[in-house]
Amino acid sequence: MSHIIIAMIEVGYGHKGPALAIKDALEGAFPGKHRIEVIDFPRAAGALRTDASIKAAWNAALQQPWMVQASYALMEAVYPHSGSVLYPFIADFYNRGSRYLATATPDLFISTHPMCSMVAAAARRRYGLKFPIIIDVVDPFDGYSLWAEQSADLFLVHSEQSRDLLIKHHIDERNIKLVPYPRLPAMQAPEKSPEELRQKYGLEKSDKPLLLVTSGAQGLGRAYSFACRAYLEGFPADFMVVTGKNKRLYEDLCQLVQKTTPQGLPGTLIPLSFVSSMAELYSLCDMVIGKAGASTWVESLAHRKPLICTEWAGQNDYKLIEFLLQNRLGSFTPRYRDFIGLLTNPPIYEKYDAEFSTHGILEALRSYHAVSGSM
């Protein structure tokens, strides 16, 4: 039985979701043939300093996006020496991650986070390891310097833009495969009817717009303050607010609802922490409100719901906003007055038919296996 590692870093769901989807696809296609692990690589390797610093930096960056934007620009400026510049900041990840792979050497290494790919490449060089490295570039329209690990064996990309950017970073076009974005659990059609779902979430049947507010697993961003302000000012809409890991926000919203319910405000605010099925919420809502991020973006597209972006963290996220605007699939409202103006007079949005499937990834892996024998 061969050993496959699918490595990610759990900052939001944008890296974890595709990793889990690939694991499920491989297990379904090759039952009992592989031992497949999805790992939060720094944590699994014991690089706890890097693990804590990356996750703390991500939380900070969601509130101070200039940090991500400056880092992105720096990595582009120093390419192809990005890894050398990063090394002092994540040295324990390089060292412990390399030892981890030398001890539990996989037959195949798949990465959905660029730092995981860089550490795997360093491990191969340091210990003379031979496992192939396959990178799933989960940024739908990007292929910036950190993704462009020169020694990787295969790149899976989900748009021509990503492919072209990797080529500009001197990646051999023959090593790049264009495949559909993997189908995530939140893209599935819910089993319950709309009436059953409304009852489940405490929603009365009404003509008010139903807005899903979600800014990813961390539950950080101005979308939450926009929704609360609109609710308190009496905007006639129902807000389903998913707070994710942000327990304090969830508690604050519950207290807010408790205080304001007697006032009989026109709208409804429904705080939700982690939910069992995001697919149910996507299917119910009329619009999605949140930060531009890969998982929220693809899930909104899959359900054919307009995405109203209130902010973006890195340049890779801004590319998602550009696509929404160019194709009339959503809007960008970084200021509250623009946000409330859009809700008051919403434009007519287009519907987008996109393919989301792990079939293309499996075919690319099968083709690679036919040449390399790695699976």
**Shared domain check, 94 and 206:** no
Q: Give a yes or no: residue 349 inside a domain.
A: no
Whether residue 270 lies inside any domain: the answer is yes
The verdict on 166 and 223 lying in the same domain is no
In a domain, 167, yes or no: yes
Domain co-membership, 152 together with 202: no
- Residue 288 sits in the same domain as residue 222: yes
Please write the tens of the pLDDT for every residue from 351-363.
988 899 999 999 9
**Judgement on whether residues 113 and 21 belong to the same structural domain of the protein:** yes
Taken as a whole, the chain contains a residue count of 375
Tell me, yes or no, whether 351 lies in a domain: no
pLDDT for position 371: 56
pLDDT for 360 equals 95
Q: Do 176 and 242 share a structural domain?
A: no
pLDDT of 374 > 60? The answer is no
pLDDT digits (tens, 9 = 90+) for 2-52: 999 999 999 888 999 999 999 999 999 999 999 999 999 999 999 999 999
Q: Is 167 exposed, middle or buried (0-12, 13-18, 19+ CB in 10 A)?
A: middle
Same domain, 140 and 174: yes
pLDDT band at residue 198, thresholds of 50, 70 and 90?
very high
Tell me the one-letter amino acid at 51.
D
- pTM score of the predicted model: 0.94
Asked if residue 104 and residue 211 are part of one domain, the reply reads no
Given a cut of 80, is residue 216 above it in pLDDT?
Answer: no
Provide the mean pLDDT of the chain.
94
Q: What angle do CA 299, 302, 308 make, to 5 degrees?
A: 60
| 107 domain-assigned | yes
Range of the domain at 175: 2-183+357-372
In the chain, how many domains are there?
2
Residue 350 lies in a domain: no
Assess whether 235 and 202 both reside in one domain: yes
Residues 85 and 161 in one domain: yes
pLDDT band at residue 142 under the 50/70/90 scheme? very high
CATH code of residue 287 = 3.40.50.2000
For residues 310 and 218, membership in a common domain is answered with: yes
Q: Percentage of residues in the chain with pLDDT exceeding 90?
A: 85
Q: What pLDDT does residue 102 have? A: 98
